[in-house]
Amino acid sequence: MTNKRFLSGITPSGDGTLHIGNYLGAVAQFIELSQKNEAFLMVADLHALTTIQEKKQLEKNVETLILSELALLKGFMDEEKFKKIVFFRQSDVPEHAELQTILNNVTPLGLLKRAHAYKDKLQNQDASDEEINLGLFNYPILMAADILLYKPQFIPVGKDQKQHIEIARDLAERFNKTFGKNIFVLPEPQIPEETAVIMGTDGKRKMSKSLGNIIAIFEPEEVIKKQVMSCYTDPTRAHTNDPGHVEGNMVFSYLDFFGERQTVDEYKEAYRQGRVADVEIKDYLFAALMKTFRPARDRYEELKANPKLVKEILEHGTYKAREAAGKTMVEVREAVGLNNSYAIGSSLIVDRSSKNNNCITIEDIAKLEVRVGKVVKAENVEKSDKLILLTVSFGEAGQRTIYTGVRGYGYTPEDFAGKQFFFVVNLKPRKMPGGESQGMILAVDSEPLPFGKHGATKPLFVSAEGLPVGARIR
Helix (H, G, I), strand (E, B) or coil at 240: coil
CB nearer to ligand TYM: pick between 9 and 317: 9
Q: How far is the CB of 155 from ligand TYM (least distance, A)?
A: 5
Active site residue 121: yes
**Looking at this protein, which amino acid is placed at residue 65?**
L
| Three-class SS state of 426 | coil
For the question of residue 84 being annotated catalytic, the response is no
CB of 160 to ligand TYM, least distance (A): 5
Q: What gap in Å lies between CA 434 and CA 315, rounded to an integer? A: 46
Please provide the distance, in angstroms rounded to a whole number, between the alpha carbons at the two ends of the chain.
40
Q: Is residue 55 among the annotated active site residues?
A: no
From 84, 162, 206, 458, the catalytic residue:
206
Give the whole-angstrom CA distance, residue 36 versus residue 50. 34
Q: In which region does residue 46 sit, left (phi positive, over 0), alpha (psi from -120 to 50) or beta (all else)?
A: alpha
Q: What's the min distance (Å) between Cβ of 16 and ligand TYM? A: 10
Q: Please, which residues have CB within 8 angstroms of residue 452's CB and are 6 or more apart in sequence?
A: 344, 345, 356, 358
Binding positions for ligand TYM, rule: CB under 6 A: 7-11, 21-22, 25-26, 44, 47, 143, 146-147, 155, 157-158, 160-161, 195, 197-198, 206-208
**DSSP bridge partners of 377:** 391
β-pair partners for 420: 374
The smaller minimum CB distance to ligand TYM, of residues 197 and 473, is found at 197
Q: How far is the CB of 209 from ligand TYM (least distance, A)?
A: 7
Of 208 and 384, the one with the shorter C-beta distance to ligand TYM is: 208
Q: Which is nearer to ligand TYM, 44 or 387 (CB)?
A: 44
Q: Closest CB to ligand TYM among 195 and 438?
A: 195
| Active-site option among 4, 121, 181, 419 | 121
Nearest distance from residue 191's CB to ligand TYM, in Å?
A: 8
Given the residues 151, 209, 268, 320, the one annotated as active site: 209
Interior angle at CA 226, CA 224 and CA 232, nearest 5: 105
| Local structure of 218: helix, strand or coil | coil
Which positions are catalytic?
A: 121, 206, 209
